[in-house]
Structure 1
Amino acid sequence: MTVDVVLPCLDEAAALPGVLGALPAGYRAIVVDNGSTDGSAEVAAAHGAVVVHEGRRGFGAAVHAGVLAAEADLVAILDADGSLDPKDLPRLAAPVLAGEADLVLGRRRPIPRSAWPLHARIANRALARTIRRATGLPVHDLGPMRVARRTQLLGLALQDRRSGYPLEMLLAAAQAGLRIRELDVPYRPRIGRSKVTGTVRGTLTAVADMRRILRERRGDPANRRNAPNR
Structure 2
Amino acid sequence: MDDKRVSVDIDSAGVATVTMTRGTQHNALDGPMIAALLASAEQLHRDSRVRAVVLRGDGESFCAGLDVKHFLQTPDNIDDLLVRAPGEVANLAQRVSYDWHRLPVPVIAAITGNCFGGGLQIALGADIRVAAPDARLSIMEVQWGLVPDMGITQSISKVVGIDVAKELTFTGRILSGSEAKDLHLITHAVDDPYAYAQQLAHDIASRPPKAVRAAKRLFNEAWTADPATGLAMETDLQRDLLVDLESR
Q: Which of the five TM-score ranges fits, normalised by the shorter chain?
A: under 0.3
Structure with the largest fraction of helix: 2
Give the TM-score, by structure 1 length: 0.28
Give the TM-score, by structure 2 length: 0.26
Q: Which has the higher contact order (CA 8 A, sep 6+)?
A: 1
